[in-house]
Structure 1
Amino acid sequence: MRRIVQKSILTGLLSVVASLGLSFSIVPFLGGQVAGAGLFMTIFCPLAISIPASALHFTQSEKVRRAEAAAKEALQKLADAYEALHLQSRTDGLTGVLTRSAFLEALNVASQKGASGALLFLDLDHFKTINDRYGHATGDEALRRTGQILARYQSQSDFSGRLGGEEFGLFQNGLTFDEMLARCEEVREDVARIVLKASSGSQVRISASIGALYCPSGFDPSNSLKTADDNLYRAKALGRNRVVA
């Protein structure tokens, strides 16, 4: 409000200066004289008209500016909420990795962009037994810790997801076949190092079976998923806690 008053007064003073300038230029030219009531009106009228008019104008302008700022802030909050909701819809709430649908979508995009690398399917061994013996809280913690391990192997072009239950997927762009084998063993060993503490106080160790596939540039996502899944079940059939690639 103070700024509006100051700007209105300044506008009024400028109006008076303009009025005096015109009066002292035109009135003498017409043979008149600026004095007395004429001089008073030359000063008073611009002040009486311009100050209220400019105050109204500046007030409305300030209201518009504030409304625009509020609208901009509301739009930003809406965009942030949409982005958060979009991220939430793509992220598994328990493990923090992608949901199954988001993982499959990312795999399709990687294929379309000509990516090549390693596709890993990971399944926690005897997960039902862990839930039944130690409780679902311990099982959830096993899933959370596994998701954290997979997230550590991600970069801008890599992604991991929870494909359902205790099954996870990891795609690592740019790995060779030998690098893929080494990475599979790293992940398997990382999971095997997890030690959980059940509500009973017991320590619970877990392990994972991994089925892996090297995906060349232009790989077919559907066939690759099936092959990696078949390799995973071979790893489990061969005794679990191992890699089949």
Structure 2
Amino acid sequence: MNSILVRSGVVALASVVASLVLAVSIVPALGGTVDGNAWMMCVLCPLLIAWPASAYTFWQSDRLKSAHRELARTHAQLAAAHRRLAEKASRDDMTGMLNRETFFARLDRSRRRSDRGTLLIIDADNFKAINDNYGHLTGDEALLLIAEAIRSGVRSGDVLGRIGGEEFGAFLTGAGEQEARQVAERVRREVESISFQPKEGQMLPLTVSIGGTVCASEATVPELVRAADRLLYEAKHRGRNRVIIGKAPVSRAA
């Protein structure tokens, strides 16, 4: 308020000065004289009109600026909340990895940017038996340990998602067959080294089977998934706790 009074006072004084200058310049030119009443009117009128008018204008201007600042702050908060909600909606609630829909959308975008990379599908071995014998809460504990081991095994920048109950996807950006095999084996060993005790004094081994397909430039995302799935099932049939990496066959129109 003090700032408004000071600013409006300055405007009022400037108006008084302007009024006096005009009176002194114009009235004699028109053949008149500036007497005491004229001087008083030149001072009082600007003070009575300009001061309250400018004070009201400055007050409204400050309110408008404050409203704009509050609006900008609220907009920023809403944008941040929207980003948080969008991020939450894209994540699996339990593991924090990308959910199935978001993982495959990210895979598709990555494939559009670059033809290079390898898709891994990682499935926990004998996981139904854990749920059946120890309960789903224990199964969830095991799944969280497996998810953390997968995170430890992949590289920074690789795309991870939970694409099924006990099935995970990993897109190894830019990785060829040899590097993908090394990463997949590291993931397998990380899971195998977990010390999981569903009951005190009872150790239960955790393992995963991994099927991986090196991305051909012409391959679509569904073709990559089908190829990785076939190799995953092959790893299961060959005894589980193993990695099989291959190349995706590409269907070509006749």
TM-score, normalised relative to structure 1: 0.90
How many angstroms apart in 2 are the aligned matches of 1:7 and 1:203? Answer: 79
How many angstroms apart in 1 are the aligned matches of 2:151 and 2:39? Answer: 82
What does residue 162 of structure 1 align with?
Answer: 162
User: Which AA in structure 1 matches 2:183?
Assistant: R
How many angstroms apart in 1 are the aligned matches of 2:156 and 2:14? Answer: 63
User: Which AA in structure 1 matches 2:94?
Assistant: L
How many angstroms apart in 1 are the aligned matches of 2:84 and 2:161? Answer: 18
CA contact (8 A) 1:19 1:46 kept: yes
Deviations 1:138-163 (A, max 9, x none): 3223322333344453544x311101
How many angstroms apart in 2 are the aligned matches of 1:47 and 1:205? Answer: 90
Determine what percentage of the aligned residue pairs are the same residue. Answer: 40
How many angstroms apart in 1 are the aligned matches of 2:7 and 2:197? Answer: 70
What does residue 119 of structure 1 align with?
Answer: 119
User: Which AA in structure 2 matches 1:133?
Assistant: N
CA contact (8 A) 1:149 1:191 kept: yes
Q: Any unmatched runs of 5+ in structure 2?
A: 246-254
What does residue 179 of structure 1 align with?
Answer: 179
What does residue 210 of structure 1 align with?
Answer: 210
Structure 1 residues 48 and 184, CA gap change in structure 2 (3 angstroms): same
TM-aligned CA deviation for residue 203 of structure 1:
4.6
TM-aligned CA deviation for residue 131 of structure 1:
2.5
How many angstroms apart in 2 are the aligned matches of 1:149 and 1:120? Answer: 15
What does residue 229 of structure 1 align with?
Answer: 229
What does residue 131 of structure 2 align with?
Answer: 131
CA contact (8 A) 2:119 2:171 kept: yes
CA contact (8 A) 1:131 1:138 kept: yes
What does residue 238 of structure 1 align with?
Answer: 238
CA-based RMSD: 2.0
CA contact (8 A) 2:209 2:232 kept: yes
What does residue 65 of structure 2 align with?
Answer: 65
User: Which AA in structure 1 matches 2:217?
Assistant: S
Structure 1 residues 150 and 29, CA gap change in structure 2 (3 angstroms): farther
Structure 1 residues 239 and 77, CA gap change in structure 2 (3 angstroms): same
Q: Any unmatched runs of 5+ in structure 1?
A: none
